[in-house]
Structure 1
């Protein structure tokens, strides 16, 4: 039996068949840990609730898990960030309400004495997000000849920017009796934009973005809400100055904004994140048409036609391409202020309806709603990629 399966099966010691908990299955696993789905039956109402138990295999990864717990508690009221959950009668013993700060997990002495630390140190409980990874959505999208509709791209862009805002300005709890609101920019007593946090995710790819049920608001009226997961590698300190010549307070925002830009390029081009042309130093650059003076260079070169090439994304709204490109500017200081780009994207979400796109069938609400749900729930069909009138499957 593989190591990850042993750790999953060990959970049966806590979630027994005759309890109010049911261990359902493995959701994902990797080199460092795994995620298992568990359902909880409320003994009073009889209602079921699903959640995820994320656990690490190795003692040396306890600090990473402690860091994730810490950051998720800081971001507990951000709708576009995965939430930790509290379960009544939790047999794993719910972790303390205050997160353990990064690098302050179980002591090295304790680890030497105990090969397997207590289960509560090795696990965190997370909300169940029903509709899978953005990477799976992109795989389905790549099978279909039509591009992702502009109005869906705008809404996904809005979700990514809300994630950036959440990390820059972790939301406070809502007033008693009020629902959690979307992440917003924080302003100081003088009405000026407050200095943002330096927090950056550092691992913002299509496997760490999940699709959740859409809430009832204009940003997600016919589109799923995207949620960011896996904060084990998140940092809020500046790297060595030789690695990054950008010591200004916007460093965290600039890094997260750049990662959001790459994800948008993947959606526009229907590439999985791992297939995006180049990473790090391998990324090619191009001057953004119409920028400057001086002209602004961007890493969003795959969105543009090179000499003797056709336009790789002729149907995308030019404003999407423009804003994604500036978010991926080579010089971080050329990237837009988060309050500016967020305001523009939110404005376009509200104002650019199907009529703006000449009432094209693929830009209408019902088409888009059917498109993303079909992509998630229908089994793949070879015929679907041949028929441009079908939605994704």
Structure 2
């Protein structure tokens, strides 16, 4: 049960009340809350068979600029597989204009965040760790997400009809300059876990960036996003207070797994270098990470298909 403060409860109640007059939707649950406001989950009764049957509706606790900013940032990303999908929804009630102006409506992702996964893994002692194969898969998802921010894929005039239409983010040929979109709030709680899919997510579900309310166009946005995903990766591997120590001492006792792949650690720590010029490019990261998805680590039991499958089932798919 999601605890709501007074402001969040007021916003949630108003949102539920407005949706009660929308015959095509049914309230399911409170999906989350925080500084941004509150997010509620509704069932879309009129969804296409292959469309989004569950939607997430986010409303702020007070009027601010985050809603139009987030909507503007998400619109070019509707085809991107590693960013949450902004949905176009038709309303019928007298509250339609308020809902269109004051809410962000996206696909609903039911498997939680990287933060919730990390919390479940850290719930016991000794703390459970993520296998190298899972960490490589997570790393690739994060890089793909950054590629999508820089080079949004797909049509600017059409919308995907269902989740299967979304595209894998790639760096285009030629000299096309990147879109300088900095997420601004990229951490484990703003990276959600989606579903499995056959291209790069057969063994670990796709990850999606959410919460673009602090996003902005700025110079060095690509490098800034790389810094942030490097921080996320290091947080998944490290139990110390100061992650910058990883650059100094990669053999520290605070590294959670003695079997951690040195190459994985090296690429993650390069991403958090203080000087942006010392951080790897998106192209270099893709070239380095993709081949490592084929590694098997045959002498480490925790890297087996069975162990990873059970870890995902227990800590993601079956988790409450």
TM-score range for the pair, normalised by the shorter chain length? 0.7 to 0.9
Question: Retained in 2: the 8 A contact 1:53–1:124?
Answer: yes
Give the 3 Å change call, closer, same or farther, for CA 87–325 of structure 1 in structure 2: same
The 2-side partners of 1:255 and 1:237 are apart by 9
| Residue matched to 1:277 | 241
Superposed counterparts of 1:229-378, under 5 Å: 229-238=210-219, 251-269=220-238, 277-278=241-242, 284-285=244-245, 298=247, 301=248, 304-305=250-251, 312-349=256-293, 351-352=294-295, 354=296, 357-378=297-318
Q: Does 1:183 align with 2:150?
A: no
Say whether residues 1:20 and 2:1 are aligned partners: no
Q: CA deviation at 1:225?
A: 0.7
CA distance in 2, matches of 1:43, 1:343: 38
Structure 2 residue 191 is matched with structure 1 residue 209: yes
Q: Counterparts of 1:277 and 1:216 in 2: how far apart (Å)?
A: 37
* SS of 2:84 mapped into structure 1: coil
Correspondence for 2:209 among 217, 220, 228: 228
**Take 1:314 and 1:226, find their aligned partners in 2: how far apart are those partners?**
26
User: Measured at CA, do residues 327 and 94 of structure 1 come closer, stay the same or move farther in structure 2, by a change above 3 Å?
Assistant: farther
Aligned residues: 309
User: Which residue number corresponds to residue 102 of structure 2?
Assistant: 122
Which blocks of at least 5 consecutive residues in structure 2 are unaligned? none
Q: TM-score, normalised by structure 2?
A: 0.86
Query: Whole-Å Cα distance in 1 between the matches of residues 311 and 190 of structure 2?
Result: 22
After the TM superposition, list the runs of 4 or more consecutive aligned residues in structure 1 that deviate by more than 6 angstroms: 92-95, 174-178
In 2 relative to 1, CA 379–125 (structure 1 residues): closer, same or farther, beyond 3 Å? closer
Where does structure 1 lack aligned partners over 5 or more consecutive residues?
Answer: 96-117, 239-250, 287-297, 381-393
Cα offsets for 1:135-169 (capped at 9, x unmatched): 11001112354421110000000000011111111
User: Normalising to structure 1: TM-score of the pair?
Assistant: 0.71
Structure 1 residue 17: deviation in Å? Answer: 7.9
Does structure 1 retain, via aligned residues, the 8 Å contact 2:39–2:57? Answer: yes
In structure 1, the partner of 2:73 is: 71
Could you say which residue in structure 2 is the equivalent of 1:101? none
Could you report, residue by residue, the CA deviation over 1:200-256 in whole angstroms, capped at 9, with x for unpaired residues?
A: 111101110100111112x21110111000111111124xxxxxxxxxxxx111111
Q: Cα gap change, 1:52/1:90 in structure 2, threshold over 3 Å: closer, same or farther?
A: farther
Tell me how far apart the structure 2 counterparts of residues 210 and 73 of structure 1 sit (CA, whole Å). Answer: 18
Q: Secondary structure at the match of 2:208?
A: strand
Q: Which residue of 2 aligns with 1:55?
A: 59
Residue 199 (str. 1) matches residue 163 (str. 2)? no
Which structure has the larger Rg over C-alpha atoms?
1
* C-alpha separation in 1, matches of 2:299 and 2:244: 36
